[in-house]
Amino acid sequence: MFHVQKMSVEDFTFAVRLTNTMNWNLVEEDFQFMKDLEPKGCFIIRDESERIGVATIISFGKVGWLGNVIVREEFRRRGAGSLLVKHALEYLTKQDVETIGLYAYQNKIQFYQRLGFEYDSNFVVLTGKPESSSEQVHQREATKNDEREIIDLDHLCFGASRRKLLAPILDESSNVCYVSGEKGSIRGFVVAKAYLGMAEVGPLVCQRGCPDIAVDLLKAVLNRVGGLEVITCVPEKESTICSTLMRRGFNEAFRVARMFYGAPRPNDCIYMAESLERG
3-state secondary structure at position 30: helix
- pLDDT for 193-212, tens place per residue? 998 889 999 999 998 888 89
- Which residues form the domain of 71? 2-97
Split into its structural domains, the chain has a count of 2
Same domain, 131 and 267: yes
Same domain, 161 and 73: no
Confidence (pLDDT) at 182? 80
Within a domain: 25: yes
Q: Burial, 254: exposed, middle or buried (Cβ in 10 Å; 0-12, 13-18, 19+)?
A: exposed
Confidence (pLDDT) at 162? 97
Helices (H), ranges, 209-274: 211-224, 239-247
Q: Is the pLDDT of residue 137 over 90?
A: no
Confidence (pLDDT) at 278? 96
Q: How far apart are CA 185 and CA 15, in angstroms?
A: 42
The set of residues, in sequence order, having a beta carbon less than 8 Å from that of 15 and lying 6+ positions away, is 7, 26, 28, 31, 44, 54, 68
Q: Is the pLDDT of residue 138 over 90?
A: no
Q: Is the pLDDT of residue 72 over 90?
A: yes
pLDDT confidence bin for 132, thresholds 50/70/90: confident
Q: Burial, 144: exposed, middle or buried (Cβ in 10 Å; 0-12, 13-18, 19+)?
A: exposed
Q: For residue 162, what is the domain's CATH number?
A: 3.40.630.30
- pLDDT for 148-196, tens place per residue? 999 999 999 999 999 999 999 999 999 999 999 887 789 999 999 998 8
Q: What is the mean pLDDT of the chain?
A: 94
pLDDT confidence bin for 1, thresholds 50/70/90: confident
Helices (H) and strands (E) in the chain, counts: 8, 13
